[in-house]
Structure 1
Amino acid sequence: MSTTLAAGAGLDFTLAQQLTVIALCALTAYISHMALAVFNDGVRPFMLDFIQGRTTRSATTAVSFGLSAGFIFGLGAPMALSTGVLNPWLVFLPTDILGILAPKKWLAPILGGAWGAVVVFGLNGANNVAHDLPVDFLTAMQQMSTPILFLFSLFPVLAITKQFGRRWGGVAGVLELALVVMTMKLWPNMFAGALAMAAGVLMLIGLAVSKDVRQRRADRAANVEEVVLEDDPMASLFSASAARLRRYLPLFMVLGAGVCVLAQMHIFGGGEATSFLIAKGQYSEAAQVDFYRVFGFIPLIATTALASGAYGIAGFTLVYPIGYLMPNPFLAAVVGALVFAVEVLALSWIGRVLGKLPSVRDSSEHLRSAIGDTLQLAILFGSLMAANAMGGGLGILVVGGLYLLNEAMGRPVVKMAAAPAAVIVGGVLLNLLYWLDLFTPIKG
């Protein structure tokens, strides 16, 4: 499978695509203003105090900006410019901030729509300017695709090792390696990690469910009864939050339709690996990748939504893989709306089920942690490959130095976003050195 993109990945959007992005940004900013949903999982727990009036709009905005800015400018913008595909950090994190910031209900969609316009009109201009520079750091950033795609495939192995030990982790690692080699040999046009990830995630879920079933049998054998507290304050809070979200079900259905349509247009990828797969036109493989990620986020999104009363802008993110596979935007809109309706209506039930499956909840935590670990290494390694492509040893010195400086300064830029941000800053610096006649760009 080719893991390089065509040089000069573009951000040219049709009128329908431009209007969809602008309208969706307006809608997500409005929903954020209403404190019904935010994209940033770290912001969601703070929304309960805001909803109940214990904190101010400006204070909540500051929290949202502090937790999101690094991902917007350090990860979202570089990934979009290098792949030519939009991503949720660039589209949805800013509308979280703008929606909460807006003092009036009518102003939120205006600010969100304005951001959507910046994305669809401004990025293409920045993309064209960057590709015309003597040191084309955006094309160099496409070097990130190979480590991201292949190392990301290992996240189920890491999750299994952390939760079930080295023996099962070793089995999973050997199985995944064999499946990657077999896929590359037998189906060279298929994403090599697709089967490996499927096997790894299924193995993790199987081990977790098996452990929970054995534990429940042991509890029944020991006559351990489940204690149900009728006046449990958390149960009361969960019920109130679920009821609040159900009251706005039509609005959530419109949101689900919009996100699913955006994914169907194939100008949007739900994650780092997905963005590169969408850029290559490998939509079924992209759907597989985002589908496997869902298992790591359902428990987190469900529990934080029930605890805070604010849902996720992309829900459980199931609308991403569904959207990639839809044949037209009209069907995508219908299916996306139905998926969100089912998710919102099922929140209370999902919360109760997760309460009975502690190992599955733990698997979710380990999956998210493993995804973060694999992507951090892949993005760092890919960024150094990009640095080498655009500036050789000097490029590695600048980019690696900026990354290490960020670590030494206590990570003013979040770790995941630090390396791509360093590539862009390093690219600008190498162009300045070229104009000062102190650097000769590497040919090819």
Structure 2
Amino acid sequence: METLQLVVAALMGGLAAFLAQQGIAVFNDGLRPLLPEFLEGRMNRRELALTSFALCFGLVIGFGIPFSLTSQIILIHSVFLATDIIGTSSPNKWLAAGLGAAWGVLLTIGLQALVDLFALLPVNFLDALGQVSSPITAAFAVFPALAVALHHGWKKGAITFALQMLARQIVVRVNPIQFGTASINLNAEGTALVIGMILLLVFAAREKAEVTADASLAAVFSDRVQRIKKNVLVLSIMGALVAAAANLGVVAGDPISLGLAAEGNIVDAGIAALARGIGFVPLVATTAVATGVYGPVGMTFVFAAGFFSPHWIVAAILGAVIVFLEVMLLDVIARFLDRFPGVRAAGEHIRTAMTKVLEIALLVGGMIAGNAMAPGLGYFIVAAIVVLNEAAGLPVNRLAIGPVAAILTGILVNILKVLTLFS
């Protein structure tokens, strides 16, 4: 299994760097609009590489790696933000593919090496570090209510929250549900999340607009849509690799599903990945149609396919089919978004809500992890790191500061242990 994981990681990293070098797909949403400037000759590769490095490097170090260290599953940002840099910087597609493959393997092996290194420390804080994700499961289900509040006002947001909470507690009360000799335990947070997403989409779909065929997004950028469709085969292969990697426990697409998968809650991780995918449809579809450049994970539904699949081969097939359908239906999705501007706007509010909820959940998780490493002292250190980060102008963004503070707490506790100031 370890060999298979390394092979998939290598193929995934190599193909992602290849796609970035060719201008077919990049992971960073902010980088995607710059690719047409390069492809159409208004930006040279050096300028593209420098911009890519500026956009991606900080996120690899300050976001991808810290989250990956909270479990033995790699946050996909660690892989694909780096392959964006490798691909856009490489003068040759095969060099890019080779370096991308090497990065995929190095990251997979290196993460395990770090885990082994932690075991040699005077205070092994790795188990406590895993508690960073402990509040995520419960807190994440709140984001649809916040998205509704941001889009439609706090009253509708409060109604959404109330119905979510009611659904959650009904599930808690009726569990387990008996079917003859068999019993089923419904997931309370998952149920609340589903109810919230349904309400969010119902509210969003009520906003409609009349758009003529010639003025639609797909019509305006029809040549760029066709460019993506011409690359549907290689993009489908990329989707297969990502879904297989998720199924094999190599990667996860976001901190929520990573934390859930690390705890063994694979179905919950799949539900979280599915909800996140819905939120990313408007962003990915709109930027893809406007730029002619896709993303290596598509609309992110490939992660849900990986988590829900019983075997990595099934996951790979589903991942390929999902990306194929996404690409071939791009113009249909674009016309739908033009027809329902509320759904397009909902995507932005969903991402904002997810970020805000995660900021709070991961900050609380960082405090819990810090206290697990050193009762009392951990709270003190994490709080100090967080407020000093704010005072310094957020060199580490709020989403990553919880995990980063927990890691720094573990390092400081070990230093104090060596100095005999901690027992």
TM-score range, shorter chain: over 0.9
**Structure-2 residue corresponding to 1:305:** 288
Larger mean CA deviation between 183-192 and 414-423 belongs to: 183-192
1:324 — aligned with what?
307
The reply on whether 1:385 has 2:368 as its aligned counterpart is yes
Partner of 1:291: 274
Instruction: Check conservation: 1:70, 1:414, Cα contact below 8 A.
Output: no
**What's the counterpart of residue 193 of structure 2?**
197
Secondary structure of the 2:273 match is: helix
SS at match of 2:251: coil
Could you tell me whether the CA contact under 8 Å between 1:283 and 1:325 is conserved in 2?
yes
Measure the CA separation in 1 of the matches of 2:53 and 2:126: 26
Describe the shift of the 1:118–1:317 C-alpha distance in structure 2 as closer, same or farther (beyond 3 A): same
In the alignment, is the contact (CA less than 8 A) between 2:207 and 2:340 conserved in 1? no
Which deviates more from structure 2 when the two are superposed, residues 181-190 or residues 318-327?
A: 181-190
Tell me the residue number matched to 1:157.
Answer: 145
Q: Number of residues paired by the alignment? A: 415
CA contact (8 A) 2:27 2:295 kept: yes
CA contact (8 A) 1:74 1:420 kept: no
Assess, with a 3 A threshold, how the Cα gap between structure 1 residues 326 and 377 changes in structure 2: closer, same or farther.
same
Please name the residue that 1:98 is paired with. Answer: 86
Structure 1 position 167 matched with structure 2 position 150: no
Q: CA deviation at 1:412?
A: 2.0
Whole-angstrom distance in 1 between the partners of 2:283 and 2:357: 19
Deviates more, 1:309-318 or 1:237-246: 237-246
**Residue 213 of structure 2 contacts residue 219 of structure 2 at CA under 8 Å; is this kept in 1?**
no
Aligned residue in 2 for 1:43: 31
Does the C-alpha gap of structure 1 residues 140 and 74 become closer, same or farther in structure 2, counting only changes over 3 Å?
Answer: farther
Corresponding position of 1:207: 203
Q: Distance in 2 between matches of 1:164 and 1:177?
A: 19
2:42 corresponds to which residue?
54
How much has 1:171 moved relative to structure 2?
1.4
**More deviation in 171-180 or 352-361?**
171-180
Alignment of 1:210-289 (within 5 A): 210-212=206-208, 226=211, 229=214, 238-289=221-272
TM-score (norm 1): 0.88
Q: Which residue of 2 aligns with 1:363?
A: 346
Aligned amino acid, residue 152 of structure 2:
F
C-alpha contact 2:134 2:259 (8 A) present in aligned 1: no
8 Å contact kept, 2:370–2:378: yes
The amino acid of 1:312's aligned partner reads: G
Q: Please tell me whether the aligned partners of residues 48 and 307 of structure 1 are also in contact (alpha carbons under 8 angstroms).
A: no
> What letter matches 1:399 in structure 2?
V
Distance 1:328 1:235 in 2: 36
Q: Is the 8 A contact 1:44 1:310 kept in 2?
A: yes
Q: Give the CA deviation at 1:437.
A: 1.8
Distance in 2 of aligned mates of 1:331 and 1:227? 41
Secondary structure of 1:176's aligned partner: helix
Does 1:129 find its partner at 2:117?
yes
Divergent runs of 4+, >4 A:
225-230, 234-237
Residue equivalent to 1:10: none
Q: Deviations over 1:63-112 (max 9, x none)?
A: 33333333322332232222221221122221111111212111101110
What root-mean-square deviation, in Å, do the aligned CA atoms of Structure 1 and Structure 2 show?
2.0
Q: 1:329 to 1:187 in 2, by over 3 A?
A: same
Instruction: Report the equivalent of 1:434.
Output: 417
Cα offset for 1:235?
A: 5.7
Structure 1, 398-407 or 179-188: larger mean CA deviation: 179-188
The CA deviation at 1:24 is 0.8
Distance in 1 between the 2:73 and 2:186 partners? Answer: 20
User: Whole-Å Cα distance in 2 between the matches of residues 318 and 402 of structure 1?
Assistant: 35
Q: Percent identity?
A: 35
The alpha carbon displacement at 1:228 in A equals: 5.6
What is the rounded CA distance, in whole Å, between the counterparts of 2:374 and 2:256 in structure 1? Answer: 25
- The answer to which of 96-105 and 324-333 deviates more is 324-333
Contact 1:237 / 1:306 at 8 angstroms: preserved in 2?
no
d(CA) in 2 for partners of 1:143, 1:301:
32
* Cα distance in 1 between the residues matched to 2:131 and 2:422: 21
Uncovered stretches (5+) of structure 2, i.e. residues with no partner: 177-184
CA apart distance, 1:172: 1.1
Q: Does the CA-based 8 Å contact 1:137-1:423 persist in structure 2?
A: no
For 2:395, the aligned partner's letter is P
CA positional deviation for 1:229: 4.9
Aligned AA (1:393): G
The Cα shift of 1:156 comes to 0.3
Gaps of 5+ in 1: 1-12, 217-224
Q: TM-score, normalised by structure 2?
A: 0.92
Distance between the aligned counterparts of 2:239 and 2:27, measured in 1? Answer: 13
CA shift, 1:281, in A, is: 2.5
Q: 1:171 to 1:353 in 2, by over 3 A?
A: same
